[in-house]
Amino acid sequence: MSKKIISEVLLEVAEAIETGNFGKKIKVGLTTLGSEHGSENLIKGAQLAKNDLFEIVLIGKGHEDFQSYETESEDEAHKIMENLLDSGEISSCVTMHYNFPIGVSTVGRVVTPAKGKEMFIATTTGTSATDRVEAMVRNTIYGIATAKSVGIKKPTVGIINIEGARQTEKILLDLKNNGYDFEFTESQRADGGAVMRGNDLLMGTPDVMVTDSLTGNLFMKIFSSYHTGGDYEAQGYGYGPGIGEDYDRKVLILSRASGSPVVAKALQYGYEIALGNVSEKARVEYKAAQKAGLDKIFAELKNKKQDSKSSEEVKMPEKEIVTASIAGVDILDLEDAVKALWKQGVYAESGMGCTGPIILVNTEKEELATNILKDSSLIS
């Protein structure tokens, strides 16, 4: 054994005694090309994140403080990154503008402004599914898995009040009732419920805020740069790791506008999800959801959409005065809800209340209409 090898072993033992970490040190990669603020901004982020818990490996423009794989091409940097991930040389990698396959999307992590609470945004880039509601259900699973991988044992879930929220809530309730173990949170607004208002977004009411990826991307940009004017993202942990049902590459995304503080936090995030093995956490969550009927629910969702396209014309009943409102119908289901009531001889109209879509019926028929909508699985 050479003197160099002996010195390296002794150094590793000394570091292990000092840090208490006797396992193989995790390496987190960082590609250093493509930032709107230059490679120096990314390298500065690596210097801010440098610590004794994990090693940082630079890919692209290198630096003497770090192990580096140098190239001037972003495409080549991604190839090097993928090879290092697949070989196990690095455990995760932070990069920009990376194309994930359909079924994989990223879970962002922000710090809310009022109380400094951390919150996961599920999801922020990529596409979990081509159907909006299916994607948001999958995003929920991705968010729960990611939160658990960084040490939150029982992450709470809220769904932001956008198109598809009520359908997503119903499917998640079905999964929960069938044995999938997770916890909804309650809105801090007076009307409560698992569907979150904008206030809850700012307060960080849930641990995991479920949304579609385009809306999530917008949230990330606002949370990270609301006090800098938008051209420099200074807060939070970036757009997060790409998570899928059976996806192993731990690739975390940054915006090209991300500043060095976000780069540093993203590297820390990369270490935490590698240490917590987020890929395995996602597989466990998926199996639990599938055991609770996830695949069957998705099949029924697709069949319902096909049936609605070929549904027969329904004659509108005689008009009545409608003053009673029924909430809880998703905006994507409004037309189907009205037709379901018409079919049973109950006159109804659709509308929009302050908390979202509503169905308007005659006061005397409110209970009947509510039961019809429940039986039709249009409200919970």
List the catalytic residues.
354
Q: 249, 162 in Cβ contact below 8 A?
A: no
Q: How far apart are CA 323 and CA 364, in angstroms?
A: 10
253, containing H or E segment: strand 251-254
DSSP class of residue 127?
Answer: E
Residue 309: how many other CB atoms lie within 10 Å: 7
Q: 105, 127 in Cβ contact below 8 A?
A: yes
Whole-Å CA distances, 325 to 208, 348, 357, 360, 376: 30, 10, 10, 5, 17
Enumerate the β-bridge partners of residue 104: 127
Q: Calculate helix-pair angle for 278-291, 294-309, nearest 10 degrees.
A: 70
Is the dihedral angle over the CA atoms 296, 297, 302, 303 positive or is it negative? positive
Whole-Å CA distances, 130 to 102, 103, 242, 252: 8, 9, 16, 22
39, containing H or E segment: helix 39-49
Q: Which amino acid is at 221?
A: K
What are the structure tokens assigned to 205, written together?
């009411």
214, containing H or E segment: helix 213-225
Whole-Å CA distances, 116 to 6, 48, 110, 125, 363: 46, 20, 9, 24, 45
Q: How far apart are CA 294 and CA 277, in angstroms?
A: 23
